[in-house]
Amino acid sequence: MGLRAKFNLAIVAALLIGYLGAGLLLHNLFVANAQDAVLENARVMMSAANAIQAYTDHDIVPLTGLEQNGQFLPASVPFFAARTTFQGVHAAFPDYSLAEVALNPTNQEDRPSDWQADFIRGFRNNQHLAHQSGIRATPTGPSLSLAEPIAVGDPSCLACHSTPDVAPASMVRKYGANNGFGWNLHEIVGAQIVSVPMALPLAKANAAFMTFMVILAGMFLVVLVILNLLLHYIVIKPVVRVSTIANAVSLGQSDVEEYQKPGRDEIASLSASFNRMRRSLDSAMRMLDPP
């Protein structure tokens, strides 16, 4: 195997290892950045839902109360107001959703699915958790969900959720007396869950990753070509020239012209040393010739 082949084999192996290592690192970085962007969108949606709930609780309920003319007003419930508002968002962006679910809800539409119940159980098992997040597969691609606990933090909540006999009669008539009761103060009863699609951010991250990898491959190719040119003109070509002269001298051709590589590098020093050796050899051979 020639010097050029050995050199290229070593350089290609080093570049390939670096390329694969950089690819793995960069892919994880691009995906992590995409997930962070999606998570930030989920936080914005969560903050908007909380703002709607606070507005309903502080501004709407004092004006309307929980019932009018003997009819319960679902719109006066902060969770209901936020969920209803985000139905418009869901209509325009079907992959975005807001759910406020409870293990024992008054409205059975708020009963959680299996994966939503897992979030609730996680909060109940560790009440110090402020939020949870997770990625699940959907028919349209992966979706990131951000969940926050729903706890009975205000004693006024128990007016509707302690026992049916103290709850508004209109609410009991509307939803029945079998669900949504038995809650306790500071108990975690459910979770507010925002789901945001990840397909588009991941596609953009993968496209950016592929573009970067193509650019990186091009840079490595340019480096390989430049190194080969330097190897050819600085090392291989002078060494081949010196080798050719040495071979000719070894065959007795004393009239071969000397080769002196310009410069002060190691190859130039080698050519100068070879020329001195050749002159010394010629001088020694002349001394051995008979007069």
pLDDT, averaged in runs of 10, over the chain (291 residues): 80 91 92 91 88 82 70 75 82 87 87 92 90 90 92 80 84 84 89 91 92 93 90 79 73 66 70 72 64 57
Q: Is residue 243 part of a domain?
A: no
Q: Residue 277 falls within a domain, yes or no?
A: no
For 31-80, the pLDDT digits (tens) are: 999 999 999 989 998 898 888 888 887 877 776 776 667 777 777 777 87
pLDDT tens per residue across span 221-246: 999 999 988 888 877 777 777 777 77
Three-state DSSP class for residue 135: strand
Domain span at 70: 37-198
Q: What is the pLDDT of residue 251?
A: 66
Amino acid identity of residue 40, one-letter, is E
Question: What are the distances in angstroms from CA 7 to CA 17, 117, 230, 238, 286?
Answer: 16, 60, 12, 16, 42
State the pLDDT at residue 281.
Answer: 66
Q: Quick check: is 266 in a domain?
A: no
Residue 117 lies in a domain: yes
CB 126, CB 181: distance < 8 Å: no
- Its pTM surpasses 0.85: no
Q: Is residue 138 one of the residues assigned to a domain?
A: yes
d(CA 265, CA 263): 6
The domain spanning residue 158 has which CATH number?
3.30.450
Looking from the CA of 74 toward its CB, the CA atoms found within 13 Å total 13
Amino acid (1-letter code) at residue 181: F
Residue 50 falls within a domain, yes or no? Answer: yes
Domain assignment present for residue 289? The answer is: no
Q: Which residues of 142-164 are buried (b: 16+ CB within 10 A; e: fewer)?
A: ebbbbbbbbbbeeeebbebbbeb
Write down the pLDDT at residue 140. Answer: 85
Question: Within a domain: residue 279?
Answer: no
What's the total number of domains in the chain?
1
